[in-house]
Amino acid sequence: MRYSHSRVEQFEKCKLAFQFKYIFNVNLINTLDADDPLIIGKAIHEAIETNNKYFDMFPVITDKHVNEDIKIGLQAERVKRKLNSFNCEYEVKLEADDFLGFIDLVITNKSGSVSLYDFKYSNNEAHYLKSRQLHIYKYYYEKLFNKKVEKLGYIFIPKTFIRQKKTEDLFNFRKRILESLEQPYIKYVEYDQNKVDEHFKLINTINNTNFNGLFPFCTNPYCEYCRNLEKGANYMFELPKNEKRQRVIDTTPDLWIYADSYVGKSTFVDKFDNVLFINTDGNTDNTESPFILIRDEKSMTGRVLKTKYGWDTFLEVIDGLETQENTFETVAIDLVEDLRELCRTYIFKKYDWEHESDGSFGKGWQMVTTEFNNAIKRLKSLGYRIVFISKEKREEIKLKNNTTRTTFEPNIDGKTANILSGTVDLTVRAFVNDEGARKLQLKKVSNEFGGGRFNFKRDVINLDINEFKEALIEAQEGIATKPTKAPVSQSETEPVIEALEDIVEVVEEDKPKRRRKKPEEAPEIITDEDGNELVNPFTEDVALEEVEKKTRKRRQRGE
């Protein structure tokens, strides 16, 4: 592997940044800011060596870009004037088996020796004077070109960071930019072999470093890799392969179950594996799984009454499920309509409202809906099996024929019900039949809110966890994706075609006979004595045609 000075220096500064840049090959994307260090550093090098191409690096030019271009243009012109009288060679490549680098400027002296220079568009003089860069360049230049290097120097190009005053127009501000720019200058350094030795020691350290795990963040506030990773940016994202996934039978679907009181919906969910109940009504005596009680709590601190809202507790539960190691597989919200009401109360107290209508132009309803939906989506994204539990709402609807129709649905508003049902795989109703047996309605019926993604073979089952799993397996028989077969020859397909023809014949025999409309008889053709064809005036078509002609004539006459 070839090592450059910048690569070794990156390892020394931040191992995590080195790992992402050189091991994972993840590069930072330029921000396209006018003062982006990578862009302006490259621009001033090009301006000195050839022409100013700063504007070519941006899709849109603003006043800030023009301000930076003024600085780069003036400073590059100053450097070029100072170098006009020298024998200059730019961007000299140093390429060895273990090293790769580029020298910004090589000046050939009259004695035949050379001097090496590096451009630094920076005010941080002290940092670069301690750098190993020019020392490494001298070592490899003499080794590769067999020429003596006489001097090593940094050409510092000062920056200016003045800002436009509020009372200052753009013309005067740019005039002040030109006046504030200091002249470029050179700082020489003495060659130090110890710095070259340090370079090789660091290379040896890199070669012996295990990069299997991720290194911790560094403390440098200017390290863009660490700072972006701390913000949560995902630089390791990869698209999935374009391959069909093998479907498997799902025995743990996300579920919404609703029922009247004392039917046994909570005890039914309690039989699921590794359940955590998020309970809102305090009825936990008949369940064995651990629970967290969600409610508004008041406490006295001195003489101050403080309230911790139940919605805050629910958000803390989501944080805990997201960040803490646990063995829960199912999260059951019992009851989901109470949780929705706690969210509603939280928004009221937060904005000092008494009702959603206190928020102008529908803002109140939208804020409650957004707060609740975002929390539910966040909970869903954690990967747990989600179960919503609700009470049943029964309504009697009078029809036009004076009959009454009874409907059943969860005890929550319709819009929220539609959103929640879209987040689960199955919505079912539990009930007690006339014989007192607890049942579970699987198939959708017209007067009940429910349905799902499964084609159940049984309409109703007992409210039993084992029977529910059996019904799920029955509903998903044969769903496994079949592998794509290679094309077969015609000789191989002939038996299949014959079999299909037999099936078609059987199906056609089993089809019920239908009455078909008799084909219309052709009009009778009448001929005269000489054999010429005459139109039969007694056919229905001709009669209708004659009536239509008479009708059109009457319309034209206005009759």
Model confidence over 336-395: pLDDT tens digits?
999 999 999 999 988 888 888 887 777 888 899 999 999 999 999 888 999 999 999 999
- Cα 505 to Cα 507: distance, rounded to the nearest angstrom: 5
* pLDDT value of residue 485: 45
**Structure confidence at residue 398 as a pLDDT band (50, 70, 90):** confident
Q: How many residues does the chain have?
A: 559
User: What percentage of the chain has pLDDT greater than the value 70?
Assistant: 84
Average pLDDT of span 537-557: 49
Q: Which of 317, 267, 312 is nearest to 292 (CA)?
A: 317
Give whole-number Cα distances, 328 to 252, 321, 335, 384, in Å.
Answer: 13, 9, 19, 8
* pLDDT value of residue 480: 56
C-alpha of 290 from chain center: 33
**Structure confidence at residue 316 as a pLDDT band (50, 70, 90):** very high
* pLDDT value of residue 269: 95
* pLDDT value of residue 359: 79
Contact 292, 280 (CB under 8 A): no
* pLDDT value of residue 300: 87
| 527 has pLDDT over 70 | no
pTM of the model: 0.49
Residues 4-58 pLDDT 10s: 999 999 999 999 999 989 988 888 777 788 888 888 888 999 999 888 888 888 8
Residues 150-198 pLDDT 10s: 999 999 999 999 999 989 999 999 999 999 999 999 999 999 999 999 9
Three-state SS at 508: helix
Contact 136, 147 (CB under 8 A): no
Three-state SS at 207: helix
**Structure confidence at residue 401 as a pLDDT band (50, 70, 90):** confident
Element (H, E) at 306: strand 304-308
Q: What is the mean pLDDT of the chain?
A: 84
Show Cβ contacts of residue 418 under 8 Å, excluding neighbours closer than 6 positions.
Answer: none
**Structure confidence at residue 545 as a pLDDT band (50, 70, 90):** very low
* Position with higher pLDDT, 2 vs 132: 132
* pLDDT value of residue 236: 52
Q: Domain spanning 5-230 has what CATH number?
A: 3.90.320.10
Residues 550-559 pLDDT 10s: 555 555 555 5
Residue boundaries of the structural domains of the chain: 5-230, 255-475, 527-557
* pLDDT value of residue 397: 87
* Position with higher pLDDT, 27 vs 137: 137
* pLDDT value of residue 482: 45
DSSP strand E in 325-384: where?
330-334
Residues 477-524 pLDDT 10s: 876 544 444 444 444 445 544 544 544 444 444 545 555 555 555 555
> What's the sign of the alpha-carbon dihedral 218, 219, 224, 229?
positive
- For β-strands 114-120 and 533-534, DSSP reports them as unpaired
Stretch among 60-64, 95-99, 355-359, 365-369 having the lowest mean pLDDT = 355-359
Residue 474 pairs in a beta bridge with none
> DSSP letter string over 74-106?
HHHHHHHHHHTTS-EEEEEEEE-SSBEEEEEEE
* pLDDT value of residue 549: 52
| 233 has pLDDT over 60 | no
* pLDDT value of residue 503: 41
Q: Domain spanning 255-475 has what CATH number?
A: 3.40.50
* pLDDT value of residue 35: 86
* pLDDT value of residue 529: 53
**Structure confidence at residue 234 as a pLDDT band (50, 70, 90):** low
| 293 has pLDDT over 70 | yes
